[in-house]
Every structure is written in C-alpha cells, then in structure tokens.
Amino acid sequence: MKNRRFWKTFLAFLFIGLVGIEFLVPAMIPLLEEQLQSLPNVPDLPFEVLVINSLIIH
C-alpha cells in the first residue's frame, strides 16, 4: 500500500514539474536569442537543440 502511495505522489510531483518547465521555455527563448547575438562564435546547432540543452544544464 505504501508503494502505491509513493508512486501516486511521485507522478503528481513529476507532472507539476513538467508543467513548470513548459512555462519556463517561453520566457527563456528571448533571453537565449539575446545571448546568442552577443557570442562571437555561434554554435552550429538548431535553435531547438540549444533551448533543450539550456533547460538540461540549468
């Protein structure tokens, strides 16, 4: 019974965390574009990959 309660709680917090990340992405895109413009050597990666990478690192 405790194991089932753990998984329900875990999944609830996982869902809340993923929703929080979804709200973070639109706020991050303009900041990332601004940072890329200030770099002398821009990485040759698609913008979507840079956004995902920025989410993972931070």
pLDDT digits (tens, 9 = 90+) for 9-56: 999 999 999 998 888 888 888 888 888 888 888 888 898 888 888 888
The per-residue pLDDT for 58 is 65
pTM of the model: 0.58
The per-residue pLDDT for 47 is 87
Question: ∠ CA(38), CA(41), CA(42), 5° rounding?
Answer: 75
Q: Who contacts 55 (Cβ-Cβ below 8 Å, separation ≥6)?
A: 21, 24, 25, 28
Asked whether 55 and 21 are in contact (CB, 8 A), the reply is yes
Report the alpha-carbon distance of residue 9 to residue 2 in Å, rounded.
11
Residue 1 has pLDDT above 80, yes or no: no
> Can you say how many angstroms the Cα of residue 48 is from the centroid of all Cα atoms in its chain?
11
